Every structure is written in structure tokens, then in C-alpha cells.
Amino acid sequence: MDEQPMDNLDRIHIRDLRARCIVGINPDERVNKQDVVVNITLYADLRKAGQSDDIADTVDYKAVKKKVLALIESSTFLLVERLADAIAEACLVQAGVKRARVLVEKPAALRFARTVGVEIFRRGPGT
């Protein structure tokens, strides 16, 4: 994911998170779980944590991962776009997260292509 600096916010990357879910519009996609690969970038101010060395001063990325996995695994969305948006929403409610970039890929979506994906960028309230 190509990224530009964003108001000097720091980044936490969760890369290649794999899960299986119902997502798609074709009849077989409505009953058979598919693999998805998710990449997330969380934008936050991590300066305090960098100085304090205290977990309370940073984003709990393990909690983000657990929340995102639960969301994906229970997904019944028709569109990858909606799944990506729901993941971004889940990230933005985590304390300290100001913005989120989410890439959701369906490796088996297109024949002759390694993967197809949707990437979105969302801002939290007031950012």
C-alpha cells in the first residue's frame, strides 16, 4: 500500500491477516466460505508510547486483530467494499486510532489473477 505522510501521524501495520468468510454475490459465494487477506494500517500518535514504554499509551493492535477476525469470520456481506468499510469502522473505534487504511483481497475471485482487492481509507470523527 503506497502511503503519504498524514499530519505526522505514526502507523501500525497489520499485514496479511488471513480468514475465511461468506462474501460475494454469486450463489456459491453465499454458502461457501472464501479466503480473504486483509492488510490494515492504523494511523495514531505514538509519541507518548515511544517515550513512556507503557502499553496503556499505545494502540492495542492485538485487540484490533481479534475484533477484525471476529467481524470477518461472521461476515455475510455481498461486497468486498462493504467488508472493507466494516473493518475500517471497527478499527476507528479503537482508542487512539485516528485513521485507517484497509485492503481486503479475495485470492480466488478472478481466474488467471493472483488476487483482486479493494482498498479504502477512512478518518475517525474530527480528523
The structural domains of the chain, with segments of one domain joined by +, span 10-123
Note the pLDDT of residue 36. Answer: 97
Q: How confident is the model at residue 56 (pLDDT cuts 50, 70, 90)?
A: very high
Would you state the pLDDT for residue 101? 98
Query: How many beta carbons lie within 10 A of that of residue 44, not counting itself?
Result: 21
CA distance linking residue 105 with residue 115, whole number of Å: 6
Residue 1 has pLDDT above 60, yes or no: no
Please compute Rg for the chain using Cα positions: 16
Q: Is the per-residue pLDDT at 27 higher than 60?
A: yes
Average pLDDT of every residue of the chain: 93
Interior angle at CA 89, CA 13 and CA 53, nearest 5: 40
Q: What amino acid positions are annotated as catalytic residues?
A: 106
Query: What pLDDT is stored for residue 6 in this prediction?
Result: 57
Query: How confident is the model over 82-111, as pLDDT tens digits?
Result: 999 999 999 999 999 999 999 999 998 888
Sheet holding 34-44, edge to edge: 10-21, 34-44, 99-106, 116-123
Domain 10-123 has CATH 3.30.1130.10: yes
Can you point out the beta strands (E) in 4-95?
A: 10-21, 34-44
